[in-house]
Structure 1
């Protein structure tokens, strides 16, 4: 497995680096997936022309709105081509990402090294040097064993063990502002949790579709607390700052033993905690995960639309 950060300084450098990567994959008859933010897709298709017809293209701004969804999609692509080398372009961080999204994207980048270990896969992750902060670029150097910068390929001197990076992502979450409501729950309380959350979501004027998604995600998270998190937990709900949707926080005394849980589409017969976490990632616009010796916290962000 080769995991490389492409540190580019201009749209032309992005096109050259990603376009050359895709052409090399197609010339070698290797399946290739390109997942970059939507505005980058048109220029890439134009520069590749008919020669890029064999590549798959995905808008990362949609796929990776919640960074916790990305790894499952990349793994599914690789598994569809089991036994063949695959190449993937994945740009999980772009200008305008919130700090919370960037932190979870950094966690994803670290976990990718673990999830793809031993596979014949080459993953190229572009980072826009002139528009991203020094801290974001430092994390790119920590999560990628190899760098391409100024056309030069070299090992990253800052590369760090994925478990260390994951631990560094478990920073304390800020407390919600005024207006947060809470409910402690234990065994037998799931109906009460749903009633409490449903009433709050209705009062918060969340649309019917989004309300259903939120209640399903909360149900999966609180059920996981009872099954794997010590049999009890706490639910808190509040409006996001600036009116940008709602946030549900589920906190319990469990441990996230497998950091890759929820980042692979489970089999239909699966009954373990990974299935619930996968559903949560698919339903929510952002999932913040914190796993510490004190327990596990999930913050589920849901936009109004």
Structure 2
């Protein structure tokens, strides 16, 4: 592994700034490209601390750029490293913070584990801050499992609890909760994709979804439905329901998803496949997957009026 993936434990703002400033200043002094993707309050703290040097750092609000943990690797990390191919990239990424909705926490941990596979051969150091005063102890324990290196009070060490990424991903491969209200259901097979699209359009329009957002929904559903009838066994099932300010779409087929990096790595330009699940990750506000030997369920949430 060339890439270095570190978890930085901090207890307060001062602790946080000392750790991130050392990382950023070291990168700028070395002439390395630097990306910081953290929640907006932390972003403001870093911007003020950097002063004029902030213009030399790419700053992203992780609550928006990483609202779906499944899009962080392809749209943030992989994109930045690829943009600066041949140079050593320094990235601060904080995907887990106090107050983040609990339902996406398992996807955040899987994301952290998959960084170690997706970017293993890339020239990059990725530092992930963890608020040990505000997060549950389980989140800190998971950080130890998903990061080969740990940083605390300025001291770096190898993680004794580091666990194989595939094992971490499998530990969060859990059945998805059932919707509180009965969903609309459509069973479909090869040749019935137009019916799938009509089914979804009717429900989405009744929910008030329009224009580009509706187009995004149709692209995501079409990709999942196409994958289901191409790679699954027998008919597939589509379920759609309202959830708060958004729609949830779920496709279940009879196949097993064995590639833990599916949807995380952009395929080669000459490839004719491999884009379906990645498009779903890029367009959706959250994506949840549960796979068994006999079935795979992919569920995504999309806010009716934009970012959830």
Question: Which of the five TM-score ranges fits, normalised by the shorter chain?
Answer: over 0.9
The structural deviation recorded for 1:231 is: 4.8
Contact (CA 8 Å) 1:100, 1:288: kept in 2 or not? no
The structural deviation recorded for 1:250 is: 0.6
Contact (CA 8 Å) 2:118, 2:265: kept in 1 or not? no
May I ask how many residue pairs the two structures share in their alignment? Answer: 302
The answer to whether the aligner puts 1:249 opposite 2:250 as a matched pair is yes
What's 2:195 paired with? 192
The answer to whether the aligner puts 1:260 opposite 2:277 as a matched pair is no
Q: Secondary structure at the match of 1:117?
A: coil
Contact (CA 8 Å) 2:289, 2:299: kept in 1 or not? yes
Alignment of 1:139-178 (within 5 A): 139-178=142-181
The structural deviation recorded for 1:128 is: 1.1
Q: Distance in 2 between matches of 1:97 and 1:141?
A: 19
Query: 1:261-288: CA deviations, max 9, x gaps?
Result: 221334555321x211111111110011
Q: Distance in 1 between matches of 2:43 and 2:55?
A: 13
Q: Distance in 1 between matches of 2:189 and 2:158?
A: 50
Alignment of 1:1-305 (within 5 A): 1-72=3-74, 73-240=76-243, 243-267=244-268, 269-272=270-273, 274-305=274-305
Q: Secondary structure at the match of 1:53?
A: helix
The structural deviation recorded for 1:179 is: 2.6
The structural deviation recorded for 1:207 is: 3.8
TM-score (norm: length of structure 1): 0.94
Q: Secondary structure at the match of 1:122?
A: strand
* Structure 2 stretches lacking a partner, 5+ long: none
Q: Distance in 1 between matches of 2:150 and 2:228?
A: 40
Contact (CA 8 Å) 2:10, 2:131: kept in 1 or not? yes
TM-score (norm: length of structure 2): 0.93
* More off after superposition, 263-272 vs 149-158: 263-272
* Structure 1 stretches lacking a partner, 5+ long: none
Query: 1:136-179: CA deviations, max 9, x gaps?
Result: 22111110111112333222222110000010110111111123
Query: 1:71-109: CA deviations, max 9, x gaps?
Result: 012111111222221111011112222222111111110
Q: Secondary structure at the match of 2:216?
A: helix
The structural deviation recorded for 1:295 is: 2.0
Q: Secondary structure at the match of 2:15?
A: helix
